Structure 1
Amino acid sequence: MTSPSADRLRRFDRAMRRRLDLKIAATRAYNSVPAAVQIVAGVVVSYSISHYLLGHSVPLLSITVVISTLGFGRDARPRRVFDSVVGILIGILFSELLFTLLGSGVWQLALILFLTFVVARFASPSAAFAAAAGVQSMMVMLLPDPDGGVLTRSIDGLIGGLVALAVTALVPRDPRGLARRDAGRLLSTLAESFQALLDGLRHGDEPAASLAVERLRRTQPLIDDWSSALDSAISIARISPFLRRHLPSLRQQARVLQGLDLAARHLRIIDRRVSFLLRDGIERPELAALLGEFAAGIEMLGASIDDPARFDDAAAAFEKIAPRLAPDLIVPGAPVTETIIVLLTRPLVVDLLVASGRPADEARALLPEV
């Protein structure tokens, strides 16, 4: 039998998990609203053109092309939408031509679906793209012939594709918010990693440094997500009259991303060295103080995403660190193991200065000779 306290703990844990699941689901639904608005706007425009302007009674393909090409994926770049539109239109036209030549039937359906998959995989590496092309080809095969002739469906598909491209620019999703959220997740993980690393150095605690290593290993997927969202934001801002004014700040954010990407790579190397060093259980307050300054500077650099005035604060923090990055200045008479850690921070501070807006040559010139 289990104790009443253990049962209460299990019930509490299940309740917390349900609340967390509901919060995640609600956040996902809320974040999907801009994409849903964009898709609905595209569907309404596409349907109206095909049905009311051209007189097509059931313009199903004009609607499905809009939904398939826009979708709810993170990558909302116009180039991706264009590639999807072209591929699906090729699939529709290809299917209609084969349908005209071969007629209908089970073997014709199987052959056309197979050939559509082959052509779609040739045109794009995306598995979802091939599936969407296959669905469109089956609609061509199974739907009754429209009043305007077989190629009417190709016209509907073309209208849907053009509308999808138009709403990408005129009803943009504005993925800047998604990019900022991804940036926040990365900065939070870096802050947690620094905290564990500093605890290890201050107390001679090797497990704390190992925890920092584990946390830093989680940064690459966060960097990839941020990069994808930022690429989409920049691509959309280039063509959208409503978002073009944000291009300078998005490019600044891209510079910060590049700097933090390089910083995370450097920190993984430094953390592994520190973890090995702390096996002796000895405190290293000098190294903790040095890396604490880096942590504060990176926090300022992250704040500059929302407040560009903080770029100068971050640059000033790193400019203060750089001239002291010589082993004899940080830990006089340090053994080789600690000297290496100080030397590893030199390329780190250069990359962070560049991310803060300083030229690379000027950043390197601040470093002392060793």
Structure 2
Amino acid sequence: MPAAGQLAIAATASYCFAHFVVGHPVPLLAITVCLSSLGFVRDARPRRVLETAIGLSVGVALAEVMLAVAGRGVWQILVALFATLLLARLLNAAPAVAVAATAQSAIVLLIQLPSGGGWARSLDGFIGGGIALLATALLPRDPRRAAQRDADRVFAGLRRGFDDTARALRTADRPTAAAALGALRELHPVVDDWTTTLDSAIAIARVSPFLRRRLPELLAQRRLLAGVELAVRSMRTIARRAEALTSDGRARPELAELLAAVGSAAALLGRSVHDPAVLAPAREDLLLIARRLDPRLVSPEASVTASMITVLVRPVVVDLAVAAGLPQEDIRAALPSLA
């Protein structure tokens, strides 16, 4: 709904400016360029909006040049569309922008010349792009909530990976270990979504006077994302090792307890997205876990393969602790020596 409201208001404002201020009777391209520049997309960064608006406006202007030089006809349409595709693709790496720019060019080539003159449609395109950029700052979507939703999805998947891996080690259940590995692999696109949403939210907060106060909170969430992304990668390795360990049918409750403890600390980090006050207990929990991360303490009689689980948990704890705001030197100093 916020995105739909932003699009509707911005497109209407583009029409009103082009119609009532500039005097164009039917400023169609002011609306279409504005809508296409903003887009119903996750990435609403001002830079993306600007690049899209420029690409669309260039497509309109190129079609105007073709009409002025060669007139209207079938071969002119072919040349203009081909040139617009190449030029828009050169200006913007996104294929969708090139196609959208070419669609605007086709509109110019096909509709009748407006009463505002030969370059009225180009002016409408630039008006639509400019209003889209203003709307990004003055009518921003709520990027904080979108980033929080993506964060919740990532932490839910990470917690499932911890819980399933711990259950698999506790019961020597290989299918459960395989399910944990699958859940962690499925987190890759979810982490990418969170990254895109958060980068977009930070970029908007930098230019919007209404969201600038949210910038410290969003930057803290970026630090959280960086640590969690590394932890997810390490957990995939642990889940693969756990799946191999369960093949002998032997339960390993001590390793299960360790992973369950780290999973609980990760869940606290997930709650910090909505309540930063829980970061302090999360840091304390991770410090306590770090001090125990010696294979000789966790599982004294375990094989070398089983002991590797404890060793692999160490970078996970470090990454989560850094994400929680603990200096890396402090958490590394808390780890027992493996010598």
Class of the TM-score when normalised by the shorter of the 2 chains: over 0.9
Paired position in structure 1 for 2:313: 345
Give the whole-Å Cα distance in 2 for the aligned partners of 1:243 and 1:181. 18
Pair 1:186 & 2:154 matched: yes
Q: Supply the AA of the counterpart residue of 1:175.
A: P
Identity %: 47
Checking the alignment, whether the CA contact within 8 Å between 2:25 and 2:116 is kept in structure 1 is: no
Checking the alignment, whether the CA contact within 8 Å between 2:136 and 2:204 is kept in structure 1 is: yes
Give the whole-Å Cα distance in 1 for the aligned partners of 2:328 and 2:210. 34
Q: 1:114 aligns with which of 82, 90, 102?
A: 82
Q: 1:159-238 residue pairs with structure 2 within 5 A?
A: 159-238=127-206
Q: Supply the AA of the counterpart residue of 1:170.
A: L
Paired position in structure 1 for 2:12: 44
Question: CA offset at residue 255 of structure 1?
Answer: 1.1
Q: Supply the AA of the counterpart residue of 1:38.
A: Q
Question: CA offset at residue 63 of structure 1?
Answer: 0.8
Paired position in structure 2 for 1:273: 241
Paired position in structure 2 for 1:96: 64
Give the whole-Å Cα distance in 2 for the aligned partners of 1:204 and 1:154. 68
Deviations 1:131-177 (A, max 9, x none): 11111111111111122321111111111111000011000011221
TM value normalised by structure 2 = 0.98
Paired position in structure 1 for 2:118: 150
Pair 1:78 & 2:46 matched: yes
Question: CA offset at residue 323 of structure 1?
Answer: 1.1
Question: CA offset at residue 183 of structure 1?
Answer: 1.1
Paired position in structure 2 for 1:28: none
Q: Supply the AA of the counterpart residue of 2:94.
A: S
Moved over 6 A (4+): none
Give the whole-Å Cα distance in 2 for the aligned partners of 1:273 and 1:138. 57
Q: 1:87 aligns with which of 49, 55, 65?
A: 55
Checking the alignment, whether the CA contact within 8 Å between 2:11 and 2:34 is kept in structure 1 is: yes
Q: Give unpaired runs (5+ residues) of structure 1.
A: 1-32
Question: CA offset at residue 252 of structure 1?
Answer: 1.1
Deviations 1:307-365 (A, max 9, x none): 00111111111000111111111111321011111111111111111001011111111
Pair 1:369 & 2:337 matched: yes
Pair 1:126 & 2:94 matched: yes
Give the CA RMSD over aligned residues. 1.0
Checking the alignment, whether the CA contact within 8 Å between 2:163 and 2:259 is kept in structure 1 is: no
Q: Supply the AA of the counterpart residue of 1:156.
A: D
Q: Which moved more, 1:117-126 or 1:271-280?
A: 117-126
Q: Supply the AA of the counterpart residue of 1:298.
A: A
Give the whole-Å Cα distance in 1 for the aligned partners of 2:222 and 2:166. 28
Give the whole-Å Cα distance in 1 for the aligned partners of 2:84 and 2:58. 9
Question: CA offset at residue 119 of structure 1?
Answer: 0.9
Q: 1:334 aligns with which of 283, 299, 302?
A: 302
Give the whole-Å Cα distance in 1 for the aligned partners of 2:299 and 2:198. 40
Give the whole-Å Cα distance in 2 for the aligned partners of 1:96 and 1:227. 39
Match of 1:57, SS? coil
Q: Supply the AA of the counterpart residue of 1:259.
A: G
Question: CA offset at residue 75 of structure 1?
Answer: 0.8
Give the whole-Å Cα distance in 1 for the aligned partners of 2:308 and 2:290. 16
Pair 1:324 & 2:292 matched: yes
Give the whole-Å Cα distance in 2 for the aligned partners of 1:104 and 1:44. 30
Deviations 1:169-223 (A, max 9, x none): 0000112211111111111112222221111111111221111111111010110
Q: 1:232-311 residue pairs with structure 2 within 5 A?
A: 232-311=200-279
Q: Supply the AA of the counterpart residue of 1:119.
A: L
Q: Which moved more, 1:141-150 or 1:261-270?
A: 141-150
Give the whole-Å Cα distance in 1 for the aligned partners of 2:191 and 2:104. 35
Q: Supply the AA of the counterpart residue of 1:281.
A: G
Pair 1:54 & 2:28 matched: no
